[in-house]
Amino acid sequence: MDDYEKIRFNHFNKRLNILVEEFNNKDIIMELNKAIIDEDFDSVNICKTKIEILNIKYERKEVEYIKFKDKFSIAYLLPHNFQTGGLKILLNQANFLNKRGHKVTLYSHLPMMSWFKTECDYRQVKEDVELYRAVIPCDIVIAGYYDLIVDALMAPAPLKYYMSQGDFYIFEWNDIQPIIRNTAYTAYNLPIRILTVSSIMQKKIKELFNRKSILIPNAVDDTVFYPIKKRIEPPFKILIVGSDSLKFKGHDDIIKALYELKEEGYAFSVLWATQTIPSKIYYEGRLNIQYSISPTEDELARLYRESHIYISGSYYEAFSLPPLEAMASGCCVITSDNEGVKEYAVHNKNCLMYEKGNIRDLKDKIKTLINSPYIRRKLRINGMKTAKNYTFNRTIELLESEFNRAKNNIIYYL
């Protein structure tokens, strides 16, 4: 574990301890503020009744100044600087908000990332200082991971959000350690407005935490991910994206399917864009995988454009960004049938979908694309049409609309 990973881990543990304490000492005022945010008026009345019975002193506050603003100062609290789809979404949101006249500042304990070009003010916070203490007073604060809700609540900003993009604790809820389950539950039930990326996530957040959430779909930067006019002809290039350390991504299934197709005589090359060198050797002599380690956004977009097929093997996803990036770049998509990708992916229209974990089904879908120029062309055209519905201009308009709605009703109790 390197020094920066230790810093991240230490602050994560500090926040977990705060959440454990909150879990064990539920605060009725916190419950009241949460109910106000969710516009759950029955719960508001119940909380007020409890407060009166317990004779708890409280004070009503309403924020007025922000009602008259249409451009905001915004703080993003970043969980790390690793090359992940979730962080990429936060960084792109920040960039596009900045372009539209908002003043956006990024806060992290880790150095600025080299793989992404940010246009916002980036502040690396000293390792022994909590993030919220470094935040300059602003209008809006957005937490990038559930533990950072702790810092968001203490940051000097009247509007507080958490951008929930899904993770293992959502999709493996019944199997995770009790401390993670309890702290995640506590964090989601703190008085913070929750944004999320897909309808499946809205459903999960309601089921697991009984919280309302606002849908802000993921998007693709069409100035980076775009098609080329003339497609490269075979021999075929097949692209994989992501770290093999994340087992739920299904990379082992993809590699096994490709190896078996090679053994059957199919000709193609394999490209793999990943944050780090894979932890094990994957049939190197037979597949001859070409790795692109921690590519920049421009380099990743070029890999999509140069590839004929992109394969996603995830067992679960909240949204699944890479297939959409591939579609925007004119690359045919084969994806597992996880719930998140179904937010935009339709089998035999803009992608071919296979049963997750079913290697035979995956092989059949790869063979279909290799053997059918007609299907490749159909998927490519429809994929590009789909991607045009997921631009950052649209996403940021939804985000601004939420800010402007919420600014008129910032009421809380102390």
pLDDT at 57: 83
**Residue range 80-93, pLDDT digits in tens:** 999 999 999 999 99
Structural domains in the chain plus CATH codes: 3-219+395-413 (3.40.50.2000), 236-390 (3.40.50.2000)
pLDDT at 1: 46
Q: Alpha-carbon distance 37 to 69, whole Å?
A: 20
227 contact partners, CB below 8 Å, separation of at least 6: 305, 328, 329, 330, 380, 384
Spell out, as residue ranges, where the chain has pLDDT lower than 70: 1-2, 22-26, 230-233, 282-285, 414
Apex CA 37: angle with CA 159 and CA 187, to 5°?
A: 80
Q: Alpha-carbon distance 211 to 31, whole Å?
A: 12
Q: Alpha-carbon distance 159 to 172, whole Å?
A: 30
Q: Alpha-carbon distance 335 to 342, whole Å?
A: 10
Q: Alpha-carbon distance 92 to 100, whole Å?
A: 12
Q: Alpha-carbon distance 337 to 347, whole Å?
A: 9
113 contact partners, CB below 8 Å, separation of at least 6: 81, 82, 83, 87, 91
For the chain, the C-alpha Rg in angstroms (whole number) is: 23
What does pTM read for this prediction? Answer: 0.92
